[in-house]
Amino acid sequence: MAYGLLKGKRGIISGALDEKSIAWKVALKAKEEGATFTLTNAPIAMRMGAIKQLAEQCEAEIIPADATSTDDLTNLFTKSQEVLGGKVDFVLHSIGMSPNIRKGRAYTDLNYDWFKQSVDISALSFHKMLQTAYKMDAISEWGSVVALTYMAAQRTFPFYTDMAEAKAMLESIARSFGYHYGKYRKVRVNTVSQSPTVTTAGSGIGGFDKFYGFADSMAPLGNASAEDCANYVVSLFSDFTRMVTMQNLFHDGGFAMTGVSEEVMQMMQNQQ
């Protein structure tokens, strides 16, 4: 059921690669709730073509941008404002990639050039997005910016390797820029810390299947799906959350607050 939560709002949604992407679900939900928006992804991701299907469904224009390039981001905000007919009200950062994870490097054997790329793509790009928008004054008063993150920023998950550092930085940028953008234009900036989700980025992480099951058994509500995440993100873009800013918001069915669950205790017992 649609509530018209984003009626009249304009936005930019990054990171929709295929229909499993969290950003893909956010786009469909934002459309359903009445928003108009542009879609963006790295030029290389465009070649896969799936995003065109989403663009048709959402009547959205695609503006390619490598999120590590401030020139591309300037073009993204300029064109988006042209296409949408004014400043944007919401922005989704749904971007992450670690060459070290892709190439199976352990945390104790990281390649530092790749580490820099992980941080540039997955964290600095968020600062670049915000700084570009800030300098161009491209986000309306009371606008909302959300980035997706993972709990490895707070607690160690050995298989998450250098993405843990990237996510810690991403969350810190939300706090720091949230202060400055709040003062400047009452724009709020938050991160949503999502459950393990079966997507291209998610499943690329070593041991993902087993860990997905573990998290599902730990969380009293089970893992949050990509659709649930989209609902939450849309609520953060809406006017109902105007005073929420500089937060890292767990969207994980209660995983982060659970020490151990009866199901996990039972599994341990069964192994003895």
Is 160 part of the annotated catalytic residue set?
yes
**Active-site position among 3, 107, 112, 160:** 160
**Active-site position among 112, 150, 181, 184:** 150
- Where are the extended beta strands (E) located within the chain? 10-14, 36-40, 61-62, 88-93, 139-149, 188-194, 248-251
Question: Does residue 190 belong to the site contacting ligand NAI (CB under 6 A)?
Answer: no
**Which amino acid type is present at position 107?**
Y
Q: Which is nearer to ligand NAI, 94 or 144 (CB)?
A: 94
Q: Which is nearer to ligand NAI, 194 or 247 (CB)?
A: 194
CB 140 within 8 A of CB 185: yes
Q: Which is nearer to ligand NAI, 5 or 54 (CB)?
A: 54
Q: Which is nearer to ligand NAI, 198 or 265 (CB)?
A: 198
Counting residues that bind ligand NAI (by CB under 6 A) gives 27
Cα–Cα distance between 252 and 129 in angstroms, integer?
Answer: 26
Looking at 129-137, 145-153, 237-245, 254-262, which segment touches ligand NAI (CB under 6 A)? 145-153
Is 112 part of the annotated catalytic residue set?
no
Give the residue among 257, 30, 18, 32 at the shortest CA–CA distance from 146: 30
Cα–Cα distance between 14 and 90 in angstroms, integer?
Answer: 11
Give the residue among 62, 74, 65, 7 at the shortest CA–CA distance from 36: 7
Question: Does residue 22 belong to the site contacting ligand NAI (CB under 6 A)?
Answer: yes
Give the residue among 64, 129, 62 at the shortest CA–CA distance from 92: 129
Q: Which of 21, 36, 80, 100 binds ligand NAI (CB under 6 A)?
A: 21
Looking at 30-38, 90-98, 172-180, 182-190, which segment touches ligand NAI (CB under 6 A)? 90-98
Give the residue among 228, 272, 227 at the shortest CA–CA distance from 253: 228
Question: Does residue 169 belong to the site contacting ligand NAI (CB under 6 A)?
Answer: no
Give the interface with ligand NAI as residue ranges (CB under 6 A): 14-15, 17, 21-23, 41-42, 45, 66-68, 94-97, 121, 148-150, 194, 196-197, 199-202
Active site residues per annotation: 150, 160
